[in-house]
């Protein structure tokens, strides 16, 4: 009789020991639950559970008009709020064949790049904190506040702006918008090398991120891991290069690619992307053409019957908006191909076999934003 | 004379620590609910027993650490009296260290220090 | 980079009964359900097309039938194609799973199963992603839930 | 003798009825010096739980970072486990699947515990009020809330003001005679 009792109390060699890195966990950056099966400290397999922040945005969008959708899309991936709004607006404008003034294209591209830098700054602060370096949190967010000041001055809000409207912008930017950006670039060019001294050169950080979470180019393509995470494995998937939209065709910039596909490669891609975004900003900020800030749009926007597809490069990857319209003012069906949804599910293949501490480093390097996964 | 200061030292420690604990149990509000006593696992009720057969490597690490911890404890009394005894104590400790050093080398060669 | 006509010609060559729709942004083809896996396999392995990246898979509920929509892109030639499959059986919608060819499709399909109720044959583990099991399928047009949904 | 927080006198605070009632009860002579000592200690070291579901979490991080530093008000550190946290700042939308988890976290926190509902989503479902099937419209359906902070997302200063209001509420509580000001729910 005693064997049975002992048997089901002690987990034997073959049974699995499953722990929960559950919804409320500092390293999951939101409400994402990893069911991790462990053998000692090495991860045997990992099952991500999502749905803890599924608000049904696609169902909501079927009942509201296009300008109203903008207020929902920037609450999906709130760290690239402008780029999400720009995706929906471009899709609507292409459907209506509306030609947006040059000024709007320049300002949209500038806002997208500023948003990318702000998102990478926050990723860098959180990634340092994941690996135990608390100072990165204060350095990164201190510089991010400079960008939020620019946003606040022009749009009144720091994080979610709903500023880019179908047809153009909600209103014109603040007069000293360009001056603030030039000040920021001058300031941040001095501060970014500090980031490298603080974390990139640190031997502990390098040992904890080199050779961990290896993802080959084929796995990246098979799992659809786009953005800096995909480019860390050598897959050139930058939509700004493949299908340039807004003012990206008027700007010279090169795509950051790394080939060895581990956590450190993804880290380097994002660090160099911050430098590249500043180059783009410098090329744009001086020659924003004059003109009005929006095209002539009817008050009620009705897309002609049909299907429309628009791809955009957010800070985390490729966001594609697929609108099926049946002619009235609300979309019949709208689907957001969110970058984090595909980036998340590669976790199992690239973390099994590594230690549980590396799991935290890999999930930090994939830079996941959970409401973008669940929508 | 020394023993009084030692007793005083323990008394003060007892009062401070005991006082804090007693005071907080007296004053703090208490609420009991079903879930409070269950283990906290990120908000999800944990399933499956936690008694697992750990890898033996962890046990070895702990034991080796214990040996060298005790070794440093022996150093303290030696350091106090080393001045009076002079050279003989020094040779004494060298022998002590070499014996333990050999033990460490043996453990290292056998791979007990390789992290699982 | 093949243009629209060449892509349509290749698809018609592989699946004669495919139906090419004109006048859309991207080259499109509506193909019968049983030819889906075979066509995607050929498109992926064919040197001329090389569609090895599945951008996204979703479904649309046109009141009478479902339409499963696949967007493919080739990472070499950068051309995009949209494959659509009509599912007329609303009672028990069923379609082949592409999880074997494209691992990312396994999770797109679980999401479509969760929100539309379309089942996938030989899918590795077809479970709901977001909602609990006894809940309805919210993205269907005939979905009503007076308790939770407050209409505007 | 107003309840002063960080040189902001009692009158500067926008009062509402609950705190008005608290002031009348909290102010009179019966507040023993022990209560004042306890509440001085507790109100100046309120430790929040790292619990952020969506966009408000980013503003909470910004409040904790170097510019709007939370630590000036005693919110020194975000505790990862509810066992060591005093307050849950519910920053973001609570969905039906997340509600039992939140309830469990709240139950596993040691007493005395508080809840700040940060942002429109936590107060009433916010932008996700109409046409959603899975959002809990307001976190007070799940756990009792002490301070509501409107905004979508509220600015870090608004969050700090909300925490100051919570500190005033903590200062008014009495432990030696607990029946006098039980939870003002």
Tens-place pLDDT, residues A125-165: 999 999 988 899 999 999 999 999 999 999 999 999 899 99
**Residue C63's CATH number:** 3.30.460.80
Tokens at D163, concatenated: 């925490």
Give percent of chain A above pLDDT 70.
96
Q: Which residues pair with C60 in a beta bridge?
A: C67
Long-range (24+ apart) CB contacts under 8 A made by C83-91 are C83/C28, C83/C29, C83/C31, C83/C36, C83/C39, C83/C40, C84/C28, C84/C29, C84/C30, C84/C31, C85/C30, C85/C31, C85/C32, C85/C33, C85/C36, C86/C30, C86/C33, C87/C33, C87/C118, C88/C64, C90/C64, C90/C65, C90/C66
Q: Is A156 on the interface with D (CB under 8 A)?
A: no
CATH code linked to domain A55-374? 1.10.645.10
Q: Is A159 on the interface with B (CB under 8 A)?
A: no
Q: Is D7 on the interface with C (CB under 8 A)?
A: no
Nearest CB to D82; choose among B30, B31, B40? B40
**ipTM of the complex model:** 0.89
B104 vs chain A: nearest CA distance in angstroms?
A: 24
pLDDT-derived band at D184, boundaries 50, 70, 90: very low
The tally of domains found in chain B comes to 1
**D 14-43 → A contacts, CB under 8 A:** none
CA distance B47 to C62: 43
The dihedral formed by the CA atoms of D172, D176, D180 and D183, expressed in degrees to the nearest 10: 60
pLDDT surpasses 90 at A375:
no
Nearest CB to B49; choose among A11, A19, A33? A11
The nearest alpha carbon in chain C to D125 belongs to C150
The nearest alpha carbon in chain D to B32 belongs to D107
pLDDT-derived band at D48, boundaries 50, 70, 90: very high
Within-domain flag for C76: yes
pLDDT-derived band at D174, boundaries 50, 70, 90: confident
Read off the pLDDT of each residue in A263-268 and give the average, rounded to a whole number: 94
pLDDT-derived band at B30, boundaries 50, 70, 90: confident
CB contact under 8 A, D155 and A158: yes
CB contact under 8 A, B28 and D104: no
Chain B partners of D104 at a C-beta cutoff of 8 Å? 35, 43-45
- DSSP string computed for C10-39: HHHHH-TT-EEEPSSSS-EEE--GGGHHHH
Within-domain flag for C67: yes
Chain A partners of C139 at a C-beta cutoff of 8 Å? 58-59, 333
Q: What pLDDT score was predicted for residue A3? A: 52
Chain D partners of A75 at a C-beta cutoff of 8 Å? 54-55, 127
The nearest alpha carbon in chain B to D104 belongs to B43
Read off the pLDDT of each residue in B60-86 and give the average, rounded to a whole number: 91
Tens-place pLDDT, residues A2-61: 455 555 555 556 667 888 888 988 888 889 999 999 888 889 999 999 999 999 999 999
Tokens at B115, concatenated: 């992290």
**Residue D68's CATH number:** 3.40.50.12280
C-beta neighbour count of A21 within 10 angstroms: 23
**B 45-64 → D contacts, CB under 8 A:** 45
What does the angle CA A205 – CA A126 – CA A109 come to, to the nearest 5 degrees? 110
Q: Which domain holds residue C98?
A: 4-121
The tally of domains found in chain D comes to 1
The nearest alpha carbon in chain A to D78 belongs to A26
C55 vs chain D: nearest CA distance in angstroms?
A: 26
CA distance A203 to A133: 12
Q: Is A223 on the interface with C (CB under 8 A)?
A: yes
Within-domain flag for B66: yes
pTM over 0.95: no
pLDDT-derived band at D30, boundaries 50, 70, 90: low
pLDDT-derived band at D29, boundaries 50, 70, 90: very low
pLDDT-derived band at B67, boundaries 50, 70, 90: very high
**B 34-63 → A contacts, CB under 8 A:** 41-44, 46-49, 51-55, 57-58
Within-domain flag for D64: yes
The tally of domains found in chain C comes to 1
CA distance A21 to A32: 8
Q: Which domain holds residue B78?
A: 2-109
Tell me which of A57, A215, A221 to substitute to probe the interface with C (most C C-beta atoms closer than 10 Å): A221
Token pair 């909470």 in the structure block, residue: D60
pLDDT-derived band at A252, boundaries 50, 70, 90: very high
> How do A317-325 and A333-337 pair as beta strands?
antiparallel
CA distance B9 to A362: 50
pLDDT-derived band at D185, boundaries 50, 70, 90: very low
C-beta neighbour count of B13 within 10 angstroms: 10
Read off the pLDDT of each residue in D123-146 and give the average, rounded to a whole number: 91
CB contact under 8 A, D133 and A59: yes
Spans of all domains in chain A: 55-374
Tens-place pLDDT, residues A92-129: 999 999 999 999 999 999 999 999 999 999 999 999 99
pLDDT surpasses 80 at D6:
no
pLDDT-derived band at A341, boundaries 50, 70, 90: very high
**Residue B36's CATH number:** 1.20.58.1610
**A 105-134 → D contacts, CB under 8 A:** 122, 125-126
State the chains in contact with D (3 or more Cβ–Cβ pairs under 8 Å): A, B, C
Q: What pLDDT score was predicted for residue A1? A: 46
More confident position, D47 or D178:
D47
Chain D partners of A71 at a C-beta cutoff of 8 Å? 127
Nearest CB to A322; choose among C58, C111, C115? C58
Q: What pLDDT score was predicted for residue C24? A: 87
Chain B partners of A41 at a C-beta cutoff of 8 Å? 116
What does the angle CA D58 – CA D61 – CA D63 come to, to the nearest 5 degrees? 115
C-beta neighbour count of C46 within 10 angstroms: 13
Q: Is D139 on the interface with A (CB under 8 A)?
A: no
pLDDT-derived band at D34, boundaries 50, 70, 90: confident
Mean pLDDT per 10-residue interval, chain C, length 152 residues: 89 90 90 92 90 94 92 92 92 92 93 93 91 89 85 78
Within-domain flag for D109: yes
Tokens at A331, concatenated: 């979309």
pLDDT surpasses 90 at D36:
no
């Amino acid at each position: 009789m005693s064997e049975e009792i002992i048997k089901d109390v002690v987990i034997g060699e073959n049974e699995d020991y499953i722990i929960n890195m559950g919804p409320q966990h500092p390293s999951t950056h939101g409400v994402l639950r990893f069911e991790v099966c462990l053998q000692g400290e090495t991860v045997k397999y990992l099952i991500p559970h999502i749905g803890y922040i599924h608000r049904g945005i696609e169902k909501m969008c079927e009942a509201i008009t296009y300008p109203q959708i903008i207020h929902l899309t920037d609450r999906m991936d709130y760290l690239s709020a402008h780029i999400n709004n720009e995706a929906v607006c471009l899709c609507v404008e292409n459907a209506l064949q509306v030609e947006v003034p040059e000024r709007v294209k320049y300002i949209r591209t500038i806002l997208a790049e500023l948003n990318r830098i702000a998102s990478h700054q926050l990723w860098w602060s959180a990634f340092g904190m994941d690996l135990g370096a608390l100072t990165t949190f204060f350095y990164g967010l201190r510089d991010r506040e400079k960008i939020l000041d620019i946003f606040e001055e022009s749009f009144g809000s720091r994080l979610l702006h709903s500023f880019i409207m179908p047809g153009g912008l909600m209103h014109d930017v603040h007069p000293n918008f360009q001056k603030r950006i030039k000040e920021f670039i001058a300031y941040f060019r001095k501060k970014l090398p500090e980031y490298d001294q603080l974390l990139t050169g640190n031997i502990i950080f390098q040992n904890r991120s080199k050779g961990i979470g290896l993802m080959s180019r084929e796995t990246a393509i098979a799992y659809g891991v786009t953005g800096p995470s995909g480019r860390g494995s050598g897959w050139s998937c930058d939509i700004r290069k493949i299908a340039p939209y807004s003012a990206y065709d008027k700007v010279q910039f090169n795509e950051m690619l790394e080939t060895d596909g581990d956590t450190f490669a993804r880290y380097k891609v994002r660090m160099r992307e911050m430098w590249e975004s500043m180059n783009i900003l410098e090329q744009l900020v001086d020659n924003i053409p004059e003109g009005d800030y929006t095209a002539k749009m009817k008050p009620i926007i009705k897309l002609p019957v049909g299907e429309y597809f628009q791809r955009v490069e957010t800070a985390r990857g490729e966001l594609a908006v697929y609108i099926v319209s049946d002619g009235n003012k609300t979309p019949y069906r709208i689907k957001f191909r969110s970058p984090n949804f595909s980036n998340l599910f590669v976790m199992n293949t690239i973390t099994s076999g590594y230690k549980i501490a590396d799991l935290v480093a890999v999930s930090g390097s994939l830079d996941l934003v959970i409401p973008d996964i669940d929508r | 004379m020394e023993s009084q200061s030692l007793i005083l030292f323990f008394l003060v420690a007892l009062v401070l620590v005991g006082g804090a604990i007693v005071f907080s149990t007296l004053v703090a509000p208490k609420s009991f609910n079903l879930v409070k006593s269950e283990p906290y696992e990120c908000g999800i009720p944990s399933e499956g027993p936690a008694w697992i057969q750990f890898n033996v490597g962890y046990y070895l690490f702990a034991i080796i650490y214990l040996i060298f911890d005790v070794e440093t404890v022996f150093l303290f009394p030696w350091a106090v009296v080393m001045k009076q005894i002079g050279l003989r104590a020094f040779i004494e400790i060298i022998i002590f260290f070499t014996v333990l050093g050999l033990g460490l080398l043996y453990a290292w060669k056998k791979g007990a220090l390789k992290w699982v | 980079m093949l243009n629209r006509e060449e892509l349509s010609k290749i698809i018609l060559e592989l699946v004669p009964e495919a139906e090419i729709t004109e006048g859309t942004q991207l080259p499109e083809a509506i193909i019968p359900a049983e030819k889906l896996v075979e066509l995607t396999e050929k498109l992926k392995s064919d040197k001329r097309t090389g569609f090895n990246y599945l951008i996204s898979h979703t479904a649309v509920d046109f009141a009478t039938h479902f339409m499963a929509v696949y967007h493919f892109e080739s990472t070499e030639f950068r051309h995009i194609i949209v494959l659509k499959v009509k599912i007329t059986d609303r009672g028990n919608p069923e379609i082949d799973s592409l999880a074997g060819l494209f691992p990312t499709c396994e999770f797109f399909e679980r999401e479509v199963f969760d929100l539309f109720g379309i089942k996938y044959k030989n899918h590795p583990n077809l479970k709901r992603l977001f909602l609990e099991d006894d809940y309805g399928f919210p993205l269907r047009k005939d979905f009503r839930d007076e308790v939770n949904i407050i209409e505007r | 003798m107003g309840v002063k927080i960080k040189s902001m006198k009692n009158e500067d605070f926008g009062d509402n009825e609950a705190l008005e009632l608290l002031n009348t009860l909290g102010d009179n002579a019966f507040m023993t010096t022990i209560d004042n000592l306890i509440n001085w200690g507790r109100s100046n070291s309120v430790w929040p739980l790292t619990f952020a579901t969506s966009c408000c979490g980013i503003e909470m991080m910004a409040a904790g970072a170097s510019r709007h530093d939370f630590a000036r008000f005693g919110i020194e550190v975000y505790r990862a486990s509810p066992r060591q946290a005093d307050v849950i700042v519910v920053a973001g939308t609570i969905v039906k699947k997340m509600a039992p988890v939140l309830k469990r976290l709240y139950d596993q926190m040691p007493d005395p515990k508080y809840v700040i509902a940060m942002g429109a989503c936590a107060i009433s479902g916010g932008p996700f009020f109409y046409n959603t099937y899975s959002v809990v419209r307001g976190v007070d359906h799940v756990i009792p809330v002490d301070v509501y902070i409107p905004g979508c997302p509220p600015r870090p200063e608004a969050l700090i003001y909300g925490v100051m209001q919570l500190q005033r509420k903590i200062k008014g509580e009495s432990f030696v005679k607990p029946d006098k000001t039980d939870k003002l729910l």
